[in-house]
A and B are shown apart, each in its own frame.
Chain A
Amino acid sequence: MNLQQFLECERKGFDRLIHFQFSNKWKSIGLIGFVLVLTGLFISKNFDAVSQFRPMLRALLLVALLIVSISKDKQEDELVKLLRAQSYVFSFIAGVLYALIQPLVTFAVVRWLGGNELLQPLSSFQVLIFMLMIQLMIFHYLKSMR
């Protein structure tokens, strides 16, 4: 394999990777998973016996939302692909701004209320769940505006 063939093979592999999507049936699976995991998280909040599963449930919640996010629509045409790409751009920017601003807002409010809490950065879970939720909301909003 010469360099040209190697680069072509790399390009094709990368192309497949960036265009990867689950089929439409995975959207329902992801949604059902999301509801089940969310229920599990509420239960674990009230029962100490299962609270040790909370980190795993949080990770599963992200996986469920990711599946919903990368599953195809019933009719995934080029406009839907464009709207999906736009929603990812928006959610990425919103996520970075949220990670930068939210700790400052929390810090300012706590100080204003008389607390003396130090500046706490957000957890990766908070940022990722925010980005995924924003992506899904913006995507559905853009689709409804077609």
Chain B
Amino acid sequence: MKNTIKVQRAILDITQEELAKKIGVSRQTINSIEKNRYIPSTVLALKLSKVFSRPVNEFFELEPQD
């Protein structure tokens, strides 16, 4: 699964730390998600969707191997 969290974050002009605070996780968790090392839960994905005001599938996308 790939994502465009970094792009969405840049659009909102917020840091990893700020995004982490908004959704109640650590900065390292945001970093892991952005680097595709961790796939967040549905709850976290929906929280991100709320912050970005976009549907989840606009910034998370399945890859052929998924």
Contacts and interface: CB of A to CB of B under 8 A. Distances in A.
Contacts of B40: 78
A77 interface: yes
Interface of A, secondary structure class, is helix
Interface residues of A, number: 8
A112 B37 CA distance: 46
Contacts of B32: 79, 146
A85 to B, nearest CB: 13
Contacts of A143: 28
B31 A77 contact: no
Closest 5 CB pairs of A and B: A77-B25, A146-B28, A79-B29, A75-B26, A146-B32
Interface of A: 75, 77-80, 82, 143, 146
Interface in B18-61: 24-26, 28-29, 31-32, 37-38, 40-41, 43-44
Nearest to B32: A146
B26 A77 contact: yes
Nearest to A146: B28
A40 B26 CA distance: 37
A78 B44 contact: yes
B59 to A, nearest CB: 18
B38 A77 contact: no
Given A80-B29, A146-B32, 20 more contacts: A75-B25, A75-B26, A77-B24, A77-B25, A77-B26, A78-B29, A78-B41, A78-B43, A78-B44, A79-B25, A79-B26, A79-B28, A79-B29, A79-B32, A79-B38, A146-B28, A146-B29, A146-B31, A146-B37, A146-B38
